[in-house]
Structure 1
């Protein structure tokens, strides 16, 4: 019997060991929890681990540091790089354009400003990461737009090509044909909010899982060279760009039909080997194009250490590096369907193999929510089972003559459940000096951390189906939501992408992914940051799970990475994110197929507006800030600004104006406010002294109440809308509005400053802090009267002139001779006049004196113009509709109504009555 003394010593020893273990665990936990979500390296780009040359050619890189586990090193490296990517994103439109030009050596496409505004409004996280779009579309730059359009028509016109056709005309979808109903509805829903900004074009969508286009390497490389060396630089050098797509070409129909074609250049090879076809675009010097049958994979480009952890997923999924895929991946053995073309045809696919030239787009499968994540059925990490879980079918290829043995899903399920020997990494060093070395173990000893089984057998000849049922332990199908019971979830390619990835990422589990097929999100979802990548060979599979389930540091990292991936997926895999990416893709696609639609240098032109630019060619750009109306402070609903619905007609707007003016005393208030403007000489002006600006503002604030000022603004806004409603046709344009200085400096302004609540210039900053009445008074000055204080104007050098639509109509109705006759563009001078019709912009470049001269001549041309003649017949239908509907407003548009419009818009209107009179 042991003595009490000895027993006590042993108890104290065990107690001491327990205390030490607890302290060690706490120390490790604190160390990892103190790490930021994304680790930032010194330069944000370097590897955080050191590597050595491979032992043999094409073998994996050697890790120089064995003191840290390879998984830990890869996580740190991935998070360092990702942190740098987040930090360098553009914050303004101007920065986004500059970054676009730096990356792609070309200007952004037309309507890039619209896309940027759309992306910001949708809360996009990554504004610059769209390299996949550039690389997908680059070869098409080598083709004439008519050639691209013709190939799309040909592809859609042959019924058995298995393509969904979508035709866009005049900012809307006019035809959609083929494809399942859910696919049609999803694509229509994805483009609904931005289709109005797209040009007329025909789009062909692949309705198969498998990709469709692979171009031989010699032809593809020639097209890429032509695009990079000739077409793109030529477009970049265009000195007369435009922020609009060209008119619909003659070879594009009205969009009501898809014309039938009798022949096709697609070839069908279903249930046949495809490796020979698939590697056609690989370089002749690549391993996939080796002359030898036993060529080895170039693992040096993507694998790390003896177990082959994936350090470069892009290189791993590049089939040109891996000839072994010909006998280990289902798509190359016998795809379930394969309808391929070897000419460059623009086909949109949801995923593709690296060697294919399909254009990737965000999958409607995800947007439509075909595999949903039910958060209510998910459980916390601590309650989940510590196993790698997967259930699925034997998809990935069609099995014939035992072909299932060469397909990736079957190989994974077989290997991961193989009871025989496998290598893991064991720490053979001391606690303060760890040393990780490969160690051979029995895989059967780790069955408790793997639960991977087939639940269905399909896509096979009867004999092959029976053989698989006999070989594999087929389990009952499970509910997709059952996956949330497990800590580690496997996503693996099927016939193409699996379709479960987003749901897995949204869950509270850690995601593992084995994928050769590429999707649109490759730049947004990163390996070792948001998921764990797995190789095809499989030497590292078990260790990738064992590290997180068995090592203390791994047990801490696993839930942190799961939550990290979950939070990021909620930010960048929303339907809104897919729409923004798709919008960008279709804009880029659009200007490739349009004639003479060279992209616009947005940064130097600004947003669409009524502006004439007079630029002094001898002076640098100014640096002052623009002035603009600030955001409104909180206002009661009854005094909010007038908001005009586009659907309202002229008679309805008139009724609203009369309703506002019917408030007792408001007519008198409006007249007195207008008199105040006249008394201070502000009619026809756009700038005044700072003292006068503040004096008038003070007079408005002291003399009138908040509701009176608000009604004045509402009536003003309504009159502006009425002017738009009735101004349908103009034979002559006249204006009593002086050319006004504008603080929008085309050449350095950015469009985001035009978006409400985003400008941070001094004028807006001061207005944010104003009381309600002051804000309304300042809005009358700035918005209604178009007046700004001179102390906000910019320095001399680059000047702008703000004109309304009618004034621009006059200028653009003439020709070069008109400009020469008026002296705006004298013959033989070096003065440059550029007209940007979609923006209502005329840019004049000359010396300072020349710009001043042009400014004066433009002013005289506009002020001395005759008048706007309105034919009464334009308004007859309006009067008729009023009588037909028995509107409360029992009259048409009278002369006094047009005068009211003229007084508000500062445009002189002559009302000429024809023999048909208006009631």
Structure 2
């Protein structure tokens, strides 16, 4: 019996071994199939780190997304998303007049204005890119479609009597000219300064003057907009326009005195937050956010901290200025999301290129890794009555030159591969005195201006002042990085900066006329006005204190794309195309017979 057991044992062990091998093979097959299916699913969602959820939340109304996870570096995701959007715009762009008309009707639910075919021919003859991307014109003019033309002309006539403005007009079979100038009786602007922008507008329109309809439009010479919207008034006009009806101007709207917040929806953060006292600035935001939609990020209704961070809003007590009870038309060179001025392109500080070219060397030959800025202390009057310390330019200079405390910095580790098992950045506390010295060359230039005498003296002692330098100075051109911030209004220097071989970081509240035809994160780096994201984004491109984990090649690519964009999408011909289309639309909406001013295809 024992002999039989001993003989059977090896056979039983052989079966056991075979079963174990089969079980192991089956287990490995299941694991392999599971991993393969996961891998396929993940690849379909795009490359990611650490098999985290594939995308960030790009749905917030404030245009920001919060970096809550330790996965891919958010800047990489933003750049890749922007590149896809930019490519998509070009793939969808109309190629023929009939396609452009169809796209116009799809977007705006009406036929284009009379002369649209002439405009299209100009666009084709002058190689104007992205011919469908003119939503800002629609947004500026759409409320006027909800006002009866005769009422609109009466409002316009009253608007023409407002001081510090001039009227550009074109009568039938006549040339463009200045029809009227209205100067203030109190501290009037010099006539030359008041109409200084006219010649630039005339030069932009000269090539298409003979194709323009009759028009008459008031123009403000000031750097910033002045017509504050009321949410209910504007919404009523937009609702009427969408229904093909007109608002009843005999019914006076109820207008709470909420200052700039009057332009915001009742359920918006600005209205819900009950902004009462600008002297009590909100505490710094704890969440770490980055801009994914620059236009949305400029809206103070959804980002109320902008009311406390920008000179456009700071000179006023919380309940002023008063919103407009009527939608009136006046053109300016910039606009905000709470104003309803009509935006014009401008030739102020416009350049075709940087000369001499040797003063703007290629990226590889630029030797200064610091971010550069020089500028005046513009934005508002520096006095006891204004919260000037909160405004954008003093905030920038203070941040860049502060030597106290430390900054918690996201320092890139260089682990950018989609399947990397290491984090893409590490959190490091870096003393400001070391970090700011390595990161910034940011100073006020000249001497204090726009200040009461005692505040001029205070500014002179509180900040370091450097001489003004021309933008084509070789020392300026040696910098790889520039930052651009608003002044009294929009920053006219942006055109010069983006035409260089350097990478531009831009913080602004003004959605300029070219915004639909540029791509943030492809051509420039969008930065929040409170500069809360500046250190981390700059560290991504430049690297840490000693350049560790830098993304120099990405920065070079974006800088070169910005220069190419400037010389391809922001030519004089592009400004002419914009203003041509704007005045076709404006001439129609102001006409007593809008139907007659509508395009009729042959």
TM-score by length of 1: 0.52
The corresponding residue for 1:284 is 266
Measure, in 2, the Cα distance between the counterparts of 1:57 and 1:580.
Answer: 31
- Of 172, 175, 185, the match for 1:173: 175
Structure 1 gaps, min length 5: 1-40, 43-47, 233-274, 297-302, 607-919
Measure, in 2, the Cα distance between the counterparts of 1:129 and 1:295.
Answer: 39
Measure, in 2, the Cα distance between the counterparts of 1:506 and 1:189.
Answer: 21
Measure, in 1, the Cα distance between the counterparts of 2:296 and 2:176.
Answer: 41
The corresponding residue for 1:413 is 397
- CA offset at residue 597 of structure 1? 3.2
The corresponding residue for 2:450 is 459
The corresponding residue for 1:394 is 377
Measure, in 1, the Cα distance between the counterparts of 2:371 and 2:575.
Answer: 29
The corresponding residue for 1:346 is 329
Measure, in 1, the Cα distance between the counterparts of 2:66 and 2:76.
Answer: 15
Measure, in 1, the Cα distance between the counterparts of 2:442 and 2:77.
Answer: 27
- The answer on 1:313 being equivalent to 2:306 is no
CA contact (8 A) 2:377 2:394 kept: yes
The corresponding residue for 1:444 is 433
- CA offset at residue 425 of structure 1? 1.3
The corresponding residue for 1:481 is 472
- Name the structure where helix makes up a greater proportion of residues: 1
- Of 134, 139, 163, the match for 1:135: 139
> For the structure 1 residues 100 and 343, does the alpha-carbon distance in structure 2 shift closer, same or farther, using more than 3 Å as the test?
same
> For the structure 1 residues 58 and 518, does the alpha-carbon distance in structure 2 shift closer, same or farther, using more than 3 Å as the test?
closer
- CA offset at residue 379 of structure 1? 1.5
> For the structure 1 residues 518 and 377, does the alpha-carbon distance in structure 2 shift closer, same or farther, using more than 3 Å as the test?
same
1:504 aligned counterpart, secondary structure? helix
CA contact (8 A) 2:411 2:549 kept: no
The corresponding residue for 1:710 is none
The corresponding residue for 2:186 is none
Measure, in 2, the Cα distance between the counterparts of 1:339 and 1:208.
Answer: 18
Measure, in 2, the Cα distance between the counterparts of 1:411 and 1:163.
Answer: 32
1:579 aligned counterpart, secondary structure? helix
Measure, in 2, the Cα distance between the counterparts of 1:556 and 1:477.
Answer: 31
The corresponding residue for 1:72 is 76
> For the structure 1 residues 110 and 601, does the alpha-carbon distance in structure 2 shift closer, same or farther, using more than 3 Å as the test?
closer
Measure, in 2, the Cα distance between the counterparts of 1:569 and 1:371.
Answer: 9
> For the structure 1 residues 545 and 359, does the alpha-carbon distance in structure 2 shift closer, same or farther, using more than 3 Å as the test?
same
- CA offset at residue 364 of structure 1? 3.2
- CA offset at residue 444 of structure 1? 2.2
- CA offset at residue 74 of structure 1? 0.9
CA contact (8 A) 2:370 2:441 kept: yes
Measure, in 2, the Cα distance between the counterparts of 1:119 and 1:512.
Answer: 30
> For the structure 1 residues 591 and 531, does the alpha-carbon distance in structure 2 shift closer, same or farther, using more than 3 Å as the test?
same
The one-character-per-residue Cα deviations of 1:550-569 (angstroms, maximum 9, x if unpaired) are 25551111111100111111
- The answer on 1:570 being equivalent to 2:567 is yes
CA contact (8 A) 1:148 1:345 kept: yes
Aligned pairs for 1:38-53 within 5 A: 50-51=55-56
- Of 588, 592, 595, the match for 2:592: 595
CA contact (8 A) 1:217 1:282 kept: yes
The corresponding residue for 1:227 is 241
Measure, in 2, the Cα distance between the counterparts of 1:93 and 1:59.
Answer: 33
The corresponding residue for 1:191 is 205
- CA offset at residue 118 of structure 1? 0.8
> For the structure 1 residues 172 and 442, does the alpha-carbon distance in structure 2 shift closer, same or farther, using more than 3 Å as the test?
farther
CA contact (8 A) 1:404 1:464 kept: no
> For the structure 1 residues 347 and 49, does the alpha-carbon distance in structure 2 shift closer, same or farther, using more than 3 Å as the test?
farther
1:330 aligned counterpart, secondary structure? coil
The corresponding residue for 2:365 is 383
1:292 aligned counterpart, secondary structure? coil
Aligned pairs for 1:677-826 within 5 A: none
The corresponding residue for 2:601 is 605
> For the structure 1 residues 353 and 371, does the alpha-carbon distance in structure 2 shift closer, same or farther, using more than 3 Å as the test?
farther
1:101 aligned counterpart, secondary structure? helix
Measure, in 2, the Cα distance between the counterparts of 1:451 and 1:74.
Answer: 26
- CA offset at residue 370 of structure 1? 11
Aligned pairs for 1:850-865 within 5 A: none
The one-character-per-residue Cα deviations of 1:811-859 (angstroms, maximum 9, x if unpaired) are xxxxxxxxxxxxxxxxxxxxxxxxxxxxxxxxxxxxxxxxxxxxxxxxx
- CA offset at residue 277 of structure 1? 2.7
The corresponding residue for 2:311 is 330
Measure, in 2, the Cα distance between the counterparts of 1:53 and 1:192.
Answer: 42
Aligned pairs for 1:1-16 within 5 A: none
- CA offset at residue 439 of structure 1? 2.9
The corresponding residue for 2:507 is 514
- CA offset at residue 150 of structure 1? 2.7
Aligned pairs for 1:504-543 within 5 A: 504-543=497-536
1:539 aligned counterpart, secondary structure? coil
- CA offset at residue 199 of structure 1? 2.2
CA contact (8 A) 2:353 2:567 kept: no
Larger radius of gyration: 1
Aligned pairs for 1:861-876 within 5 A: none
Number of residue-to-residue matches in the alignment? 506
> For the structure 1 residues 60 and 330, does the alpha-carbon distance in structure 2 shift closer, same or farther, using more than 3 Å as the test?
same
The one-character-per-residue Cα deviations of 1:679-729 (angstroms, maximum 9, x if unpaired) are xxxxxxxxxxxxxxxxxxxxxxxxxxxxxxxxxxxxxxxxxxxxxxxxxxx
- Of 377, 383, 387, the match for 1:403: 387
CA contact (8 A) 2:263 2:323 kept: no
Higher relative contact order (CA 8 A, sep 6+): 2
- CA offset at residue 66 of structure 1? 3.3
- CA offset at residue 308 of structure 1? 1.9
> For the structure 1 residues 499 and 440, does the alpha-carbon distance in structure 2 shift closer, same or farther, using more than 3 Å as the test?
same
CA contact (8 A) 1:331 1:495 kept: yes
- CA offset at residue 438 of structure 1? 3.2
Aligned pairs for 1:204-283 within 5 A: 204-231=218-245, 276-283=258-265
CA contact (8 A) 2:233 2:327 kept: no
Measure, in 1, the Cα distance between the counterparts of 2:433 and 2:174.
Answer: 60
> For the structure 1 residues 89 and 76, does the alpha-carbon distance in structure 2 shift closer, same or farther, using more than 3 Å as the test?
same
